[in-house]
């Protein structure tokens, strides 16, 4: 439902507004690859979603020390899993790793590392709080990427074959530490349930909003906002550049638009820059970016040291301000180039 400030929340416990690929939210497609090319096939309004909760106590390890299979609760689909603010400009800012919450029933199965959700793209909703002045649409999830990663393919295929990365439902952190207690990692059925209840609704909302803006303006920019700790030896060598622009090697964004964005970034000297380096764009950038159809997708991965204390996860407004000013200027110019 839509409120006065034009924000949409998935709060109805039995319905979801956002249906795409003609796949209902409580039905997994038998062939995930078969539905993906039809990005703009929007089905009719509402679909029933399963809300049954099956909470069972996790089993402990056997006395001999071997792991027992953890029983797992099924999560209620009626929880608001994202917020969508609908703007009027041809710009949708998606922040798929901004969420920090975990379902209460999941926490007993997690290690201390898992409960800390350290791999969050911390405070991006604050970093991009200027978006309203640009009249941009903004899509923000509620839950942590440890529940399910919204920027991974639904079939769990790797984004960077041959390189270390986390999957659709991560079991290890970026530092390589276990997220789940022994024997409590999700199985295939649980993974499928999480995909149905959290992954699909976010992507349905994203696709519908993109299509609304594309039809209104003819061209739309999907800006994928991300951030990561500046040093993670398991994922990359040394210190990450401050700003990492990804356009799937130019496939997800028009050449003129990418050149304009790069020109703005090269014109400043405060922040180091990499273009289509370690982070070329995740699933969302690659899947939705179709410049020939009027949809341009760009990923911006920011080293978190530029706006927060990386150890305490504390947002630092004074440090963040020049970065916010640059991002606002960058997005204003990008809109003008569409």
Half-sphere exposure in the Cβ direction for 140 (13 Å, CA) = 23
The token pair at 126 is: 């604050």
**pLDDT of 15 above 60:** no
Residue 105 CB contacts under 8 Å (≥ 6 apart), including other chains: 53, 55, 73, 75
- Beta-bridge partner residues of 23: none
**pLDDT of 151 above 70:** yes
**pLDDT of 306 above 60:** yes
Give the total residue count for the chain: 338
**pLDDT of 241 above 50:** yes
Whether the Cβ atoms of residue 45 and residue 52 lie closer than 8 Å to each other:
no
What integer pLDDT is reported at residue 73 of this predicted model?
A: 39
Query: How far is the C-alpha of 163 from the C-alpha of 144, rounded, in Å?
Result: 23
**pLDDT of 212 above 60:** yes
**pLDDT of 314 above 80:** yes
Instruction: For residue 60, name the pLDDT band (cuts at 50, 70, 90).
Output: very low
What integer pLDDT is reported at residue 2 of this predicted model?
A: 39
Mean pLDDT of 88-103: 98
Computed over every residue of the chain, the mean pLDDT equals: 82
Whether the Cβ atoms of residue 165 and residue 158 lie closer than 8 Å to each other:
yes
Q: Position of tokens 């690659």?
A: 286
C-alpha torsion 288→209→261→128, nearest 10: -120
Instruction: For residue 284, name the pLDDT band (cuts at 50, 70, 90).
Output: very high
What integer pLDDT is reported at residue 7 of this predicted model?
A: 52
What integer pLDDT is reported at residue 177 of this predicted model?
A: 96
**pLDDT of 45 above 70:** no
Pairing of strands 308-309, 295-303: unpaired
Q: Is 145 exposed, middle or buried (0-12, 13-18, 19+ CB in 10 A)?
A: buried
The residue ranking higher by pLDDT, 178 or 164, is 178
Mean pLDDT is lowest, of 24-28, 167-171, 173-177, for: 24-28
Query: How far is the C-alpha of 245 from the C-alpha of 301, rounded, in Å?
Result: 7
Residue 157 CB contacts under 8 Å (≥ 6 apart), including other chains: none
What integer pLDDT is reported at residue 4 of this predicted model?
A: 37
């Amino acid at each position: 439902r839509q409120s006065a400030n034009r924000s949409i929340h998935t709060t109805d416990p039995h319905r979801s507004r956002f249906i795409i690929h003609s796949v209902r939210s409580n039905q997994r497609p038998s062939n995930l690859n078969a539905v993906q090319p039809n990005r703009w096939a929007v089905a009719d309004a509402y679909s029933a979603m399963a809300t049954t909760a099956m909470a069972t106590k996790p089993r402990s390890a056997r006395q001999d020390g071997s792991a027992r299979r953890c029983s797992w609760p099924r999560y209620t689909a009626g929880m608001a899993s994202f917020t969508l603010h609908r703007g009027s400009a041809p710009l949708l800012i998606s922040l798929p790793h901004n969420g920090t919450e975990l379902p209460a029933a999941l926490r007993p199965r997690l290690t201390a590392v898992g409960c800390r959700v350290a791999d969050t793209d911390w405070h991006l909703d604050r970093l991009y709080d200027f978006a309203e002045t640009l009249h941009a649409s903004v899509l923000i999830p509620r839950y942590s990427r440890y529940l399910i990663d919204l920027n991974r393919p639904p079939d769990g295929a790797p984004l960077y074959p041959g390189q270390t990365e986390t999957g659709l439902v991560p079991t290890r952190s970026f530092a390589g530490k276990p997220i789940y207690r022994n024997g409590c990692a999700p199985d295939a059925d649980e993974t499928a349930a999480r995909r149905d209840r959290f992954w699909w609704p976010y992507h349905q909302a994203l696709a519908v909003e993109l299509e609304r803006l594309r039809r209104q303006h003819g061209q739309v920019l999907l800006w994928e906002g991300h951030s990561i700790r500046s040093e993670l030896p398991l994922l990359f060598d040394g210190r990450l550049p401050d700003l990492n622009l990804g356009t799937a090697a130019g496939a997800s964004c028009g050449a003129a638009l990418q050149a304009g964005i790069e020109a703005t970034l090269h014109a400043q000297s405060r922040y180091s820059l990499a273009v289509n380096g370690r982070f070329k764009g995740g699933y969302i950038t690659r899947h939705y970016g179709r410049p020939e159809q009027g949809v341009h997708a760009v990923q911006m991965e920011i080293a978190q040291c530029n706006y927060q204390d990386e150890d305490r996860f504390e947002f630092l407004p004074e440090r963040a301000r020049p970065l916010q000013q640059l991002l606002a200027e960058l997005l204003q110019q990008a809109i003008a180039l569409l």
